[in-house]
Amino acid sequence: MTRWILLGAIVATCAGYLVYSATATGVAYYRTVAEVKAAPGGAGVRVLGTVRDVRHTSPLDVRFDAVDAGYSMPVAYHGQVPDIFRNGVQVVVEGSMGADGVFHATTLLTKCPSRFTSGTPGG
């Protein structure tokens, strides 16, 4: 009987550890534009902002300003941009702040706008 209780405790501990480790790695945090401007940090910083003033310098190079709560940060990205990328769309960019004061993004993700808007039905 004691052997079964011990075996059950070991299995429960292993299962708990697997659940904990799987959920801990799935959480992605991002910083605000103001936080990055105050303390740029190292590589791999994720920043949430709203796109403003999009400038395509070549088919795969885009520059824009990420704005949030009155703060603005220039961003440079090389690569394919999502189809819904345009002014006013929220983006999460991952990269690092360069010595030139431009955030050099290695990843650009757009946040999908909601299909549901407030308003009157049929209007």
Question: Does 21 score more than 80 pLDDT?
Answer: no
List beta partners, residue 49.
Answer: 91
Q: Rounded mean pLDDT of the chain?
A: 82
As given in the structure block, the two tokens for residue 99 are 């010595």
Comparison of pLDDT for 8 and 19, the residue scoring more: 8
For the chain, what percent of residues have pLDDT higher than 70?
85
Question: Does 85 score more than 80 pLDDT?
Answer: yes
Q: Show the beta-strand stretches assigned E in the chain.
A: 31-32, 45-58, 61-68, 71-78, 90-97, 103-110
Rounded to an integer, what is the distance from CA 25 to the centroid of its chain? 14
In the chain, what are the domains? 31-110 (2.40.50.140)
Q: What is the pTM of this model?
A: 0.67
